[in-house]
Structure 1
Amino acid sequence: MNLAHLAATAEYTTPPLYRLLTKTGYFVGLSGAIGATVTYATVVRPALRARQDAGDDTAVLQRRTAGYLAWSGLVLLVAGYFQLAARLARAGKGMPFGDALAPGRIWDYLHAPAGKGAWVAQGTLYLVQNVVLALAAAVLIALFVPGLRRHLDALALTALPLSLAVTLIAGIPAVAPKELDRALDPVFDQVHIVSGTVWIGGLVLLAALATTRGRLSERAGVLWADLWRRFSLVALVCVAAVLTSGLWMSWKHVGGLGQLWTTGYGFALLVKILLVLGMVAAGGVNQFWLMPRIVRARQADAEASLLHLTLRHFPRVVWAEVALGAAVLAVVPFLGGSARTEAGSPPAVSDGGVFAAGAGLVLILGASLYVTARVSDALARRPAPVAG
């Protein structure tokens, strides 16, 4: 089959409604579980332990965190079931989504034998994935029980690796890849998913915690300054991972800039890129404008200004990032197929030049993020009046 014929037969097809809803819901569930547990482990827990003198504020944030994690477990469980049914509806010759929801049909799908050349049955991988998903959800849902909330640390830290395993298991190919490109594809895909869910899910968790400001003391600004500082570092790492993996995936599926607006896949990717850049821009506002003001207010011991900056100004920008992140998750289901296939372009083939160029871009990206952190620190050290 030549490329012209392939392009003529590979038209973009809009995903069915059930696919849009189930895939978006699945990534919402992953963002809630992975993003919340990772952010709790790397941001919230260390900040609360460092501020042991903020007893009442710590108790308020711990209760809200426990409630949030419990709901995220419930969402993950429901979203995981619908995602599994959606996989069944698309498998083989396909079936109506309503029929795929039947537990018996799902059970048969999970026990289907391995295909030719596969080292393991795809259904077996999905079975293991969903057993782990159920365990992660159960651990988080346990936080609905008031008596178990005193074990928040243990439960959250147990759910963290389980939540990560949910997506990592799904990325294991049933057929062992014979080419380096195909071996790297699931690696970059999982880096993209994990970093994206940590970024979006962490933003949502902190935005939800910031709604407790009416129950916090006037000294809570110091605690929140530490929370935002710690998460800024996590977000920088996530941005680097999202952009690096996104470059690889874009190169694999898009053969030229023109395909971003002449193919269905390319247009969906273009929308996603613009939304992600919007999130990066909002993060830049926090990094270059708000964080330096927060640092100066903290150094001046200006409690009123610090509280206003950390629990008024900062969450407003974060909620804007959350809205953009939600839009990104809504666009993800539209990224089916490949712009190269739609346009009849040859598939992407890696070589030494491609890897060298990629390594150069990664170094440039890393250097730019380092400069970002240094510039933010320099702005914080500038002598400037503290605004309320």
Structure 2
Amino acid sequence: MHSALLAATTADYTVPQVWRILTKTGYFIGLSGTIGATVTYATTVRPALRAAEADPEDTAILRRRSAIHLAWAGVVLLVAGYFQLAARVARSGKGMPFGDALAPGEIWSYLRAPAAKGAWIAQGTVYLVQNVVLVATAALLIALFAPAARRRTDAVALAALPLSLAVTLIAAVPATKPADLDRWLDLALDQTHIVAGTVWLGGLALLVVLAGTRNRLGNGAGLLWADMWRRFSLVAMTCVAAITVSGLWLSWKHVGAVSQLWTTGYGIALLVKVLLVAGLVTAGAFNQFWLMPRITRARRTDDTASLLHLTLRHFPKVVWGEVALGAAVLVVLPFLSGSARTEAGSPKAVSDGTVFAGGAALVIALAVSLYATAKASEALSRRLPAPEAS
């Protein structure tokens, strides 16, 4: 009975084709690899490596591993970007087989198509500019395979950062003027969601890759890694706040009632995504309230052995779990097509003063909670018992 009801209520939902799942997931993996890695390198890795107490040998090892990771991220972005562009061609107009859409001639025709009536720019032109920037970003990062470019890893990463952000931001430029404020907010908060998510997931991936060098690092590397985990924790908390605010807006726009989370195809996909993200947040909370206080305590008491174990053995194990959950989130994304409101026949969501007031209150509450989280983690580090003498 229940399965029959579910089938009836999800009748208007179309499961994406396999090529669509692979291309969209691959594209977001590519964005995570470039946006997340460059932002994390700029905000977390580079400042820690430039610290006065960092060992030169450890710094050289980590900088080289970062450069290689960024170079491979460029390769993935280039390949994923091509398949994503072909997927756009396959879905445009009356559609065509994905295999046919891979042909360069079909792609070029799509990019050069004239603007639609009433549009200020052709949609193909928007994607042409986006992919020019994508190729430039990938080429810049791929150059890090060369030893000469690796000597300038900082400069290359910092140059690639705004370019990688532009890849997703340009694609969001509307070909026609948005009809109202809600549509502008949809565009802005959708990009906020994408950027925050890719920074979080891509940053986690970079750090676990760097942690793989632990057997080559010196005994004092725990201090360096304590600084990196501390810095990235702040980045991750900011991303969580941005994802929460933008995610709630987007969910409200597409889901008209809580019951639609399990009675519509879109809602089921969203529910799975929310559960996976909740797992990510739980792992992050464990890091913040259990691992970080112990790392801070070990750092304060000069317990080198404990610091090395916590930062390069224990912490990466938890982060690997987060990376796995993040990969699952990216696999779910292609299934978020359409809208639960449309499937259920619910009216379109329209914002008003009450919605904006609630959003402002939520932003303030999240800011307060982030500050309280940081203070609570610091307080816990002071309350922990001193490590036993070996």
Structure 2 counterpart of 1:266? 267
TM-score by length of 1: 0.97
Structure 1 counterpart of 2:327? 326
How far apart, in 2, do the equivalents of 1:8 and 1:322 lie? 33
Larger CA deviation: 10-19 vs 230-239: 10-19
How far apart, in 1, do the equivalents of 2:9 and 2:378 lie? 54
The 5 A counterparts of 1:138-157 are 138-157=139-158
Structure 2 counterpart of 1:305? 306
How far apart, in 2, do the equivalents of 1:73 and 1:228 lie? 24
Q: Contact between 1:293 and 1:386, CA under 8 Å: does it hold in 2? A: no
The 5 A counterparts of 1:229-248 are 229-248=230-249
Q: Contact between 1:51 and 1:223, CA under 8 Å: does it hold in 2? A: no
- 1:49-99 CA-partner distances (Å, limit 9, x unpaired): 014541000000011000000000000000000000000000000000000
Compute the displacement of 1:8 (Å).
8.2
Amino acid at match of 1:73: G
Compute the displacement of 1:381 (Å).
1.6
Amino acid at match of 2:299: R
Secondary structure, in 3 states, of the residue corresponding to 1:172?
coil
How far apart, in 2, do the equivalents of 1:183 and 1:53 lie? 45
How far apart, in 1, do the equivalents of 2:9 and 2:308 lie? 59
Q: Contact between 1:181 and 1:350, CA under 8 Å: does it hold in 2? A: yes
The 5 A counterparts of 1:235-384 are 235-384=236-385
Amino acid at match of 1:232: S
How far apart, in 1, do the equivalents of 2:79 and 2:53 lie? 37
Compute the displacement of 1:367 (Å).
1.6
How far apart, in 1, do the equivalents of 2:116 and 2:71 lie? 38
Amino acid at match of 2:138: A
- 1:345-383 CA-partner distances (Å, limit 9, x unpaired): 000001111111111122222222221111101111214
How far apart, in 2, do the equivalents of 1:47 and 1:254 lie? 43
How far apart, in 1, do the equivalents of 2:106 and 2:162 lie? 29
Structure 1 residue ranges, 4+ long, deviating more than 3 angstroms after superposition: 7-10
Q: For the structure 1 residues 180 and 316, does the alpha-carbon distance in structure 2 shift closer, same or farther, using more than 3 Å as the test? A: same
- 1:135-180 CA-partner distances (Å, limit 9, x unpaired): 0000000001112100101111111000000000011111111211
Unaligned runs of 5+ in 2: 1-7
Amino acid at match of 2:300: Q
Structure 2 counterpart of 1:90? 91
Compute the displacement of 1:385 (Å).
3.0
TM-score by length of 2: 0.96
Amino acid at match of 1:384: P
Structure 2 counterpart of 1:70? 71
Amino acid at match of 1:18: W
Compute the displacement of 1:210 (Å).
0.2
Amino acid at match of 1:130: N
Structure 2 counterpart of 1:3? none
How far apart, in 2, do the equivalents of 1:165 and 1:384 lie? 48
Q: Contact between 2:9 and 2:263, CA under 8 Å: does it hold in 1? A: no
Structure 2 counterpart of 1:159? 160
Unaligned runs of 5+ in 1: 1-6
Q: For the structure 1 residues 88 and 245, does the alpha-carbon distance in structure 2 shift closer, same or farther, using more than 3 Å as the test? A: same
Structure 2 counterpart of 1:11? 12
How far apart, in 2, do the equivalents of 1:68 and 1:353 lie? 46
